[in-house]
Structure 1
Amino acid sequence: MRTMKGYVELFVLPVPKKNLPAYCRISQRFGKLLKEYGALEYREFLGVDLKVQGMTAFPSNIKLRPGEVLVSAVLGFRSKKHRDQAHRRLQGDPRAKRLFKEYNEHPLTDSKRTLYGGFATIVKV
């Protein structure tokens, strides 16, 4: 199958409700940095309609616990190569290093239950 221009990284992750404001603040900072290094789009979404009869629901895959909400993030790039370049450049930024250190010292999510994937565009309307 032939792919088109466009590449996204998708994340689906559990966030304790009490951590949501702090998570949004740190994500805002991360998104701004990533866009400086070339990301075309950085958006995060709060799950509100997560159960559809006859389909596997995200909460069951993530094993969403009481007091947690589901967040999804979409990071857009021109291509996988473009994504790789943006992330490489981001890794060298002292602001990003501080941000990662801050997050690692006080994790706001359970990364072991995070779903992730990089996807090439196959249909665009």
Structure 2
Amino acid sequence: MSFINGFVLAVPKENKQAFIDHAALINPIFMDFGLIRVVESWQSDVPKGKKNDFFTAVEAGEDEAVVFTFMEWPDKATRDNAMAKLQDLVKDDPRFDREKHPVPFDGSRMIMGGFEPVYTLQK
């Protein structure tokens, strides 16, 4: 059974290409550790809610877009093993050098979690 990591974050609209470049730099590292698939999605049709919505959840400003990401792992154990290995890699891998490759969003407002699929339908 696969395991899903889900993320919602706010990214300055002017950083769209920087966000795409960041994803293209970082996500292959996760693939090396067993990630099956990652989908990075830029806001296209995200309505404002009456009580709550994606914008308020990540405190997105008018100059920011909401991004939804999901990462599919073969199982939770593979994800856990990858995260343990990546903690050491972050210290030494130049792709994680924040001066050369700054993160194009405020990670403190990111919402994330791990999920076990309970129903899947696909063609």
| Paired residues for 1:28-47 under 5 Å | 28-47=24-43
Gaps of 5+ in 2: none
Secondary structure of the structure 2 residue equivalent to 1:122: coil
Counterpart CA distance in 2 for 1:120 and 1:87 is 17
Question: Which residue, 59, 73, 85 being the options, matches 2:69?
Answer: 73
What is the identity percentage for the equivalent residue pairs of Structure 1 and Structure 2? 21
Secondary structure of the structure 1 residue equivalent to 2:4: strand
Q: How many residues align?
A: 121
Aligned CA distance change for structure 1 residues 47 and 35 (closer, same or farther; 3 Å): same
Question: Which residue, 6, 13, 24 being the options, matches 1:17?
Answer: 13
Q: What residue in structure 1 maps to residue 81 of structure 2?
A: 85
Task: Tell me by how many angstroms 1:55 deviates.
Answer: 6.6
* CA displacement 1:1-30 (0-9 Å, x = unmatched): xxxx11110111000111111111111111
Q: Which segment drifts farther, 23-32 or 48-57?
A: 48-57
Counterpart CA distance in 2 for 1:31 and 1:46 is 16
Aligned CA distance change for structure 1 residues 60 and 104 (closer, same or farther; 3 Å): farther
Counterpart CA distance in 2 for 1:71 and 1:96 is 28
TM-score (norm 1): 0.82
Aligned CA distance change for structure 1 residues 100 and 90 (closer, same or farther; 3 Å): same
Secondary structure of the structure 1 residue equivalent to 2:115: strand
Task: Tell me by how many angstroms 1:32 deviates.
Answer: 1.1
TM-score (norm 2): 0.83
Counterpart CA distance in 2 for 1:104 and 1:91 is 19
Task: Tell me by how many angstroms 1:36 deviates.
Answer: 1.5
